[in-house]
Structure 1
Amino acid sequence: MSRRAAVSRIAIPLAGVLVLTACSSGKQQSDSLQVVANPVAATAAVSPAATAKPAGQVLTAPSVVSTAVDATSHSLVVAVTEPPSLRIYDVTAAPVERATIPLPAPAERLTASPGQVLASIPGKGLLARVALPGGQLTTTPVAGQPAAGVADGPRTLVAVRDRKAIEVLSDGKVTKTITGDLYSADDVVTTGTGVVVLDRLRTALLSVDVGTGKLGAGLRAGEGAANAVADDYGRVLVTDARAGALLAFSADPLLLRQRYPVPGGIYGIAYDAKRHLAWVTLTGRNEVVGFDVRGGEPVEKFRFPTVRQPDSVGVDDQDGRVFVGSAAGEGIQVIQP
């Protein structure tokens, strides 16, 4: 059975999904998805003091903003704030720090693909590309505040928050700018069957037609969409930080397939393609949970206590190890489920 067929078989359409419609006047007041007068992006719930010892091993590190794993080079990359830099670890066996790459300002989001990691640096209007495992750094200027980037074949797609746009880069140059009915462009995800942009202010997903350079249909993504990742069934998994839920959308067509309640301050997310596990962090409980997402609804398989304020998570889908970053400066946690 094809993956597209598998998605159809396990899909559970939900009633009451609101379709995002364009506003001919350009005014936010006419937007049916705007539920408050002054929308604010969802943030991680503040963690309480830890009451349980973190599972696994904890590596010393300052405040961690984002984590990403490139299994092909056996590299863990961690963005830290003080000083702004990327730490690269060899995770072939026990993690060993390989290099520290200074940055001109803090990175916001890391996205790994075979042999590289992309780091958005909104404070300097840059997208950084780091070759792995060596750590060679190149930067590309991006007008505005690049919030996230993702490799899409030979192209790179960059979500630019303040300009409400997706920049399409080829060979380090902007070849296309995609704009439309966005309040902010906070992340861009490619599934292999489609591309979507996450708008945190609107708490919505919108489909992106890179070929035509246009935004397509949009859907409300819960009450406070925070982070998103692609799985290997052509879906986009989204954490709803306000309502406490894990959402699953097909990307082509853009449809809400599942909504599964996850209390405890769900926020960070990573996906293990080999084991079909979505790992999410619960910042309100200092926990990380692994859900099997192959069936009609997520099934909890693992739950571990974490470092305090576990805002970010990464996973090595070769051996299944999970890496949790503490935004409170309590280190990088390494868990072997």
Structure 2
Amino acid sequence: MNVRHTPWHLLAAAASACLLVAGCSDSGSGSSDEPDAVDLEPLTGITSPDTSVPPSGSVVPSPSGLHSTTFEPVTRSIVALDDARTALTVFDADDAAAPPRSVPLSGAAADVVPGVDGTLLLPMNGSLAEVDLRSSGVRNVDTGGNLLSAATLSDGTVVAGDDSGSIHIVDFGANRSQSIGGLTSVDALASTEHGLAALDRHQTSLTQVNVDDESLGLALRAGTGAARLDTDEYGRILVTDAAGGELLVYSSDDLLLRQRFPVGAQPWAVTYDDKSDTVWVTTPADNEVVGYTLDTGIPVESGRFSTVRQPDSITVDPDSGALYVGSATGGGLQRIDTAERG
């Protein structure tokens, strides 16, 4: 493993706000809380070449490509969507030899998001599904809209975002939802102790969402072509800018771009390991996953591993810190013991 150390570019809070938010010059119209309007066609992915070196760690076969790979801690399962996105492929984290089981869905899902108490949230076209991995039971709430994202807030409220820019507040008990509009597309949702933020990939922006009063707050530009996001235990929002080749780190209490770091290859999937305070980012163009420590406030590259081909999704076991990388082209599920870095 080749470990490289690269200094971060640290941004002053005031400078980042002025650079990224419209209104730093007085135009006489518009809000200073909104970035300049853009309408991009988001990248659908970064094509991987054939692997040139064996993947690090171990790889177990999968019956199809793996998409939106997620770790569910209560059942200690690694879960991903199959190629059709109409079934979940469920692996046992404690028994690598056990064959994965399949949980069929009522339709195609856009993502897999951890819920609470062994459940997963699955945004679908017209509804949000909740799957209980312990029983394989599924329940749905009709929301309207083609859902792309979902999240659970700190108070237990469930929200979902759709491709027309609406955020739905979902009540599974009452089988109903209400919505907040104003964005172009809600491609990912970040829930922290400070509230909710929405990633709009068409506008490559990150926007605060005030769920209580059903309104949008401050909005900042998220690079030149944002791809994926995750959050960490300190309330930071971690965004990969695939078009710009950077990892972006935002604070969520005041929504400021605190740090940005050139990754080199185009970054895609991102996950955060609480145990080691490490952000892991996949770079499909070279079939690698790279780790950056954030414990000192000056993030430094701390690990680099070769992966399966097309590492489009990644997750971490919160107990062991092991990484799981899903191959979107059928190359299996890869497990990496991150203690091997050094």
CA distance in structure 2 between the aligned counterparts of 1:20 and 1:42, rounded to whole angstroms: 24
Name the SS for the 2:46 alignment partner: coil
Aligned to 1:119: 122
1:74 matched to 2:76? The reply is yes
The residue identity in structure 1 corresponding to 2:282 is: T
CA distance in structure 2 between the aligned counterparts of 1:52 and 1:272, rounded to whole angstroms: 25
Name the SS for the 2:144 alignment partner: coil
Aligned to 2:65: 63
The residue identity in structure 1 corresponding to 2:296 is: G
The residue identity in structure 2 corresponding to 1:90 is: D
Aligned to 2:265: 264
Q: Which digits, 9 at most, give the CA deviation of each residue in 1:261-298, with x for residues without a partner?
A: 10112000111122212111101110111221223332
The residue identity in structure 2 corresponding to 1:234 is: G
After the TM superposition, which residues 312-327 of structure 1 pair with which residues of structure 2 at under 5 Å, given as runs?
312-327=313-328
When the two chains are superposed, the root-mean-square deviation of aligned CA atoms in Å is: 2.4
After the TM superposition, which residues 1-337 of structure 1 pair with which residues of structure 2 at under 5 Å, given as runs?
12-13=12-13, 14-15=15-16, 17-19=19-21, 33-35=36-38, 38-61=39-62, 62-82=64-84, 84-94=86-96, 96-97=98-99, 99-114=101-116, 115-122=118-125, 125-152=126-153, 153-162=155-164, 164-172=165-173, 173-180=175-182, 182-337=183-338
The residue identity in structure 2 corresponding to 1:120 is: P
Greater shift after overlay, 126-135 or 73-82?
126-135
Q: Which digits, 9 at most, give the CA deviation of each residue in 1:151-170, with x for residues without a partner?
A: 123210101112x1110012
CA distance in structure 2 between the aligned counterparts of 1:257 and 1:277, rounded to whole angstroms: 16
Q: Name the CA shift for 1:318/1:258 in 2 (closer, same or farther; >3 Å).
A: same
**Is the 1:265–1:285 Cα contact (8 Å) retained in structure 2?**
no
1:17 is displaced (CA, Å) by: 2.7
Unmatched tracts of structure 2, length 5 or more: 1-9
Instruction: Tell me the number of residue pairs that the alignment of Structure 1 and Structure 2 aligns.
Output: 317
Q: Name the CA shift for 1:117/1:223 in 2 (closer, same or farther; >3 Å).
A: same
User: What is the TM-score normalised by the length of structure 1?
Assistant: 0.87
Q: Name the CA shift for 1:95/1:200 in 2 (closer, same or farther; >3 Å).
A: farther
**Is the 1:130–1:136 Cα contact (8 Å) retained in structure 2?**
yes
CA distance in structure 1 between the aligned counterparts of 2:195 and 2:97, rounded to whole angstroms: 34
**Is the 1:81–1:106 Cα contact (8 Å) retained in structure 2?**
no
**Is the 1:207–1:254 Cα contact (8 Å) retained in structure 2?**
yes
CA distance in structure 2 between the aligned counterparts of 1:32 and 1:98, rounded to whole angstroms: 44
The residue identity in structure 1 corresponding to 2:121 is: L
CA distance in structure 1 between the aligned counterparts of 2:233 and 2:135, rounded to whole angstroms: 28
1:103 is displaced (CA, Å) by: 1.9
CA distance in structure 1 between the aligned counterparts of 2:84 and 2:20, rounded to whole angstroms: 41
Q: Name the CA shift for 1:56/1:24 in 2 (closer, same or farther; >3 Å).
A: farther
Percent identity over the alignment? 35
Q: Which digits, 9 at most, give the CA deviation of each residue in 1:61-81, with x for residues without a partner?
A: 212221110223211111112
CA distance in structure 1 between the aligned counterparts of 2:301 and 2:197, rounded to whole angstroms: 26
CA distance in structure 1 between the aligned counterparts of 2:73 and 2:104, rounded to whole angstroms: 23
